[in-house]
Chain A
């Protein structure tokens, strides 16, 4: 009622607060564009370089963010354990590729092994995520929202504990199979590693988006997300569809996990907390529940961090998290539903 009333009021007379809000948003945008502009003018090469670094991390964030957004979309659960699932996939890839198979330096054979272990890591992430849903979340599906939420927090600790037992409390260095050289394109250096991240994450993202958007299973996912009983009346196996969603989320985390281990070069049992937070923020930024929003959010946060940390005229690395969350908060003020999310009014 109130929203309708204020909607009518706004048409008649624009309140001062709305004008201020609009003005301040232009002001903030202006400052951001100006800041990026002077940096670009200062050194276009540096700017391009930093952009590429940002996209590199952003793609990894996007893959993890996908898991938050898909799961939230289908059962409205903020899966706090997802960051830790990502951590376990990175540990798994280290255990299999680096230790078991001994692939610790660049070679043709090791590139092939990387691709094979990528698939295994994705399968590992998928299986683990499906198992978690089956064991911990499914029986709480009709319980009050707080119950599965707390369970997810508990599951996060369980996964961290597994990671701790697996590799210990000290971060472990990973000898990467990716070559350490760089391409030089017009004064911009692009590490081979960065190419590898693009080469692997972009197709994975495209395939996952295709599955959700275009396949019969994907349509069942979207239907289940909208109305579970109506989906059952269509003949959709809702439990199976939710499992499938967790599988996709886990596979995406797995792809991010192995690429993280190979490009950043360390794995640690507490990696999930920070990465999970960033990825969750990406999902919220893009509009939680929206697949493309999550990818966009991940890329934006990757870029914000990179610009903040890497541009020579700027606040510097110490301000990295503050910048990300300042921008998140500002965005939430102007677009509460996230970039691609629905606004609250539309939902009602």
Chain B
């Protein structure tokens, strides 16, 4: 698939982020256009999660800027970024283990005041992941990894995001579930949500992406249409285990 010709939704320019003396992301520039699935791949420690954490306001950049729908959002605290329409399902799921599935979903809609619309969103999430409906009153911490991942994605959807940010949604899942997660990501995009996806499962992530970026040690190594990168022998060599 190829880049869409729609307006830019998220624009990261020359972003540098670090932890103390460690610089995890070095001068990254990246664009997500409305309606796209954009994938970011790269090996462990490449700086993918750090980038997403910065987009969601959990970290402050050392330099560079992030614009969302034309508005500068870097440096804004995380809870305000959610209000602007960016919801993230973080690496490692990070569901609230002592709360029920129901309460976790409610927390996803924490900022929303429109009760009827929240109910609708809930219904859509439970249709997307029927398994969650079966487990609705179960403590989230007692569910399987796959179910927790569904909950993490569903919870992010409850915030009615314009941009859904997914950090390694297929991590640690059985192959059947991995396929299900990727199918669901495409379904979500079809419902009109733009998606920024980070994955170590590079091939699947490139296949569903309109456009993709390859990170290596905090640097942008390569970018291009998803399908083109998926067929690139150099990529296959480095990231697809080929």
Q: Give the B-binding residues of A (Cβ under 8 A).
A: 216, 219-220, 222-223, 226-227, 229-238
Give the contacts of B5-58 with A (CB-CB under 8 A): 53, 56-58
The answer to the question of B90 belonging to the interface, with a C-beta cut-off of 8 Å to chain A, is yes
From residue B160, how far is it (CB to closest CB) to chain A in Å? Answer: 11
Give the contacts of B104-136 with A (CB-CB under 8 A): 106-108, 110-111
Inter-chain contact B95/A230, CB cutoff 8 Å:
yes
Inter-chain contact A219/B107, CB cutoff 8 Å:
yes
Chain B residue numbers with a CB within 8 Å of A229 are 53, 58, 78, 90, 94
Complex partner residue of A226 from B53, B87, B96, CB under 8 angstroms: B96
Complex partner residue of B110 from A222, A226, A227, A235, CB under 8 angstroms: A235
The answer to the question of B190 belonging to the interface, with a C-beta cut-off of 8 Å to chain A, is no
Given contacts A219-B107, A233-B88, A235-B110, contact A227 B96 (CB under 8 A): yes
Nearest A residue to B83 via CB reads A235
Q: Interface readout for B119-160 with A: 1 if CB under 8 Å, 0 if not? A: 000000000000000000000000000000000000110010
Inter-chain contact A233/B78, CB cutoff 8 Å:
yes
Inter-chain contact A234/B107, CB cutoff 8 Å:
yes
Chain A residue numbers with a CB within 8 Å of B95 are 230
Cα separation A232 to B58 with both chains bound (whole Å): 8
The answer to the question of B70 belonging to the interface, with a C-beta cut-off of 8 Å to chain A, is no
Cα separation A237 to B57 with both chains bound (whole Å): 12
The 13 sampled A-B contact pairs (Cβ below 8 Å) are A219-B106, A223-B96, A229-B78, A229-B90, A229-B94, A230-B90, A230-B94, A231-B107, A233-B78, A233-B94, A234-B111, A234-B155, A237-B79
Cα separation A87 to B57 with both chains bound (whole Å): 40
User: Number of B residues contacting the other chain (C-beta, 8 Å)?
Assistant: 27
Chain B residue numbers with a CB within 8 Å of A237 are 77, 79
Q: Chain A interface mostly helix, strand, loop or mixed?
A: helix
The answer to the question of B178 belonging to the interface, with a C-beta cut-off of 8 Å to chain A, is no
Inter-chain contact A235/B90, CB cutoff 8 Å:
no
From residue B74, how far is it (CB to closest CB) to chain A in Å? Answer: 15
Give the contacts of B77-95 with A (CB-CB under 8 A): 77-79, 82-83, 87-88, 90, 94-95
Cα separation A167 to B70 with both chains bound (whole Å): 59
The answer to the question of B216 belonging to the interface, with a C-beta cut-off of 8 Å to chain A, is no
Inter-chain contact B97/A226, CB cutoff 8 Å:
yes
The answer to the question of B103 belonging to the interface, with a C-beta cut-off of 8 Å to chain A, is yes
From residue B13, how far is it (CB to closest CB) to chain A in Å? Answer: 23
Cα separation A231 to B103 with both chains bound (whole Å): 13
Q: Which 6 A-B pairs have the closest CB atoms?
A: A232-B78, A235-B82, A235-B111, A230-B94, A234-B110, A237-B79
Cα separation A319 to B98 with both chains bound (whole Å): 40
Cα separation A231 to B95 with both chains bound (whole Å): 9
Complex partner residue of B96 from A230, A232, A235, A238, CB under 8 angstroms: A230
Cα separation A216 to B109 with both chains bound (whole Å): 11
Cα separation A133 to B159 with both chains bound (whole Å): 30
Complex partner residue of B79 from A216, A219, A226, A236, CB under 8 angstroms: A236
The answer to the question of B99 belonging to the interface, with a C-beta cut-off of 8 Å to chain A, is yes
- The residue in A220, A232, A237 that gathers the most chain B C-beta atoms within 10 A of its C-beta is A232
Inter-chain contact A226/B108, CB cutoff 8 Å:
no
Nearest A residue to B57 via CB reads A232
Instruction: Taking A219-B107, A219-B110, A223-B107 as given, write out 5 further A-B residue pairs in contact, using a Cβ cutoff of 8 Å, ordered by the A residue number.
Output: A216-B110, A229-B94, A232-B79, A235-B159, A238-B79
Nearest B residue to A224 via CB reads B96
Inter-chain contact A234/B94, CB cutoff 8 Å:
no
Cα separation A234 to B78 with both chains bound (whole Å): 9
Inter-chain contact B110/A220, CB cutoff 8 Å:
yes
Cα separation A220 to B79 with both chains bound (whole Å): 12
Chain B residue numbers with a CB within 8 Å of A233 are 56, 58, 78, 82, 87-88, 90, 94, 156
Nearest A residue to B58 via CB reads A229
Chain A residue numbers with a CB within 8 Å of B96 are 222-223, 226-227, 230
Nearest B residue to A226 via CB reads B96
Chain B residue numbers with a CB within 8 Å of A226 are 96-99
From residue B85, how far is it (CB to closest CB) to chain A in Å? Answer: 11
Chain B residue numbers with a CB within 8 Å of A238 are 79
Inter-chain contact B99/A223, CB cutoff 8 Å:
yes
Nearest B residue to A239 via CB reads B77
Cα separation A171 to B106 with both chains bound (whole Å): 51
From residue B6, how far is it (CB to closest CB) to chain A in Å? Answer: 26
Cα separation A230 to B98 with both chains bound (whole Å): 13
Inter-chain contact A234/B159, CB cutoff 8 Å:
yes
- The residue in A216, A223, A229, A233 that gathers the most chain B C-beta atoms within 10 A of its C-beta is A233
